[in-house]
C-alpha cells in the first residue's frame, strides 16, 4: 500500500516576506495530497500568530481530519511545539521532552503518535532537535531507547528538522557546517534507513543547509522522495516521500 509523507518546518507560519499565514503553507502542502504530515515550529494561541490554533487550521486546509500537537515551551500566552496530521485515526499520542545540557537552552521535544492502517501498526515521530550538538546527540540516544521498545514488526517513520551541522552562537545567531557524517544520523542509522536527500532545506540570513530529513524502518520500501521549494512561505523547504508499506 502506498503512503505519502510530508515533513515541514513552518516557522510558526512566517514566510521570508515576514507575513505569518499558515493557510498559504497548507495550500502548498495540499497539492501533494499527503497521508501524514510532520510539522515543526507550530504556534497555538500565541500573540504573534494572532492567538490562532495553527495545527487545527493546517489540518483543515490539507483535508486530513486527525491531528496532534504538543507544547515544548509556553510563549506569548500560548504554546509552541511540534505536530502530526494524519488521514488515519491517532490511537496514542505523547510528547517526550529531550535532555538539556543547560537549563537556559530551549526545551525540545519529540512528538510520538501511533496509528493503525489495516493490520499495520505505524509509529510516527515529529522531531525538532536542538541547535547544540551535544543535546542533539543525547536526543538521538533517547529516541533510540524509545524505538527499542517498539515491536520489530511494526513500522516507524520519523520526520523533522534535525538541525545537523547547526551551532547556536547567541540569540538569533547561528552557523552551519556541512560534514561528511553526522553523529546524530549515525546513531539513528543503526536501526533505521534515511532518505538520501542532499539539497538544502533551510534558508535564512543566518545560514542555509540540508537539516531536514526522514528516517524509516527497514520493513517498508522508499519509492520516491523530493525536496520541494516552499516559495519563501517558510525558511525551510518541504520534504516529500512515498513509501510502500
List, for residues 134-158, the tens digit of each pLDDT value: 999 999 999 999 999 999 999 999 9
DSSP one-letter code for 127: E
- Cβ burial, residue 240 (10 Å; 0-12/13-18/19+): buried
Tell me the three state secondary structure of residue 134. helix
CA distance 96 to 128: 12
CA-wise closest residue to 184 among 157, 229, 215: 215
Global confidence as pTM: 0.97
Domains defined along the chain, listed by start: 2-244 (3.60.10.10)
List, for residues 176-215, the tens digit of each pLDDT value: 999 999 999 999 999 999 999 999 999 988 789 999 999 9
pLDDT reported for residue 195: 98
Amino acid at each position: 500500500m502506498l503512503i505519502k509523507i510530508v515533513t515541514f518546518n513552518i516557522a510558526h507560519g512566517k514566510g521570508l516576506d515576514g507575513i505569518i499565514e499558515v493557510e498559504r503553507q497548507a495550500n502548498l502542502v495540499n497539492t501533494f495530497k499527503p497521508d501524514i504530515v510532520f510539522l515543526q515550529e507550530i504556534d497555538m494561541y500565541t500573540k504573534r500568530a494572532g492567538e490562532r490554533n495553527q495545527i487545527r487550521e493546517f489540518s483543515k486546509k490539507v483535508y486530513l481530519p486527525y491531528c496532534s500537537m504538543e507544547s515544548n515551551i509556553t510563549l506569548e500566552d500560548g504554546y509552541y511545539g511540534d505536530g502530526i496530521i494524519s488521514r488515519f485515526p491517532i490511537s496514542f499520542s505523547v510528547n517526550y521532552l529531550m535532555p538539556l545540557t543547560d537549563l537556559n537552552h530551549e526545551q525540545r521535544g519529540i512528538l510520538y503518535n501511533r496509528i493503525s492502517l489495516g493490520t499495520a501498526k505505524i509509529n510516527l515521530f515529529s522531531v525538532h532537535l536542538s541547535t547544540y550538538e551535544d543535546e542533539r546527540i543525547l536526543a538521538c540516544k533517547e529516541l533510540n531507547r524509545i524505538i527499542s521498545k517498539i515491536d520489530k514488526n511494526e513500522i516507524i517513520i520519523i520526520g523533522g528538522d534535525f538541525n545537523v551541522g547547526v551551532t547556536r552562537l547567541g540569540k538569533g545567531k547561528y552557523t552551519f557546517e556541512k560534514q561528511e557524517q553526522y553523529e546524530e544520523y549515525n546513531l539513528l542509522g543503526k536501526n533505521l534507513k534515511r532518505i538520501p536527500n542532499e539539497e538544502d532545506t533551510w534558508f535564512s540570513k543566518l545560514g542555509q543547509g540540508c537539516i531536514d530529513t526522514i528516517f524509516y524502518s527497514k520493513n517498508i520500501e522508499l519509492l520516491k522522495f523530493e525536496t520541494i521549494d516552499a516559495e519563501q512561505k517558510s525558511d525551510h523547504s518541504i520534504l516529500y516521500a512515498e513509501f510502500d508499506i
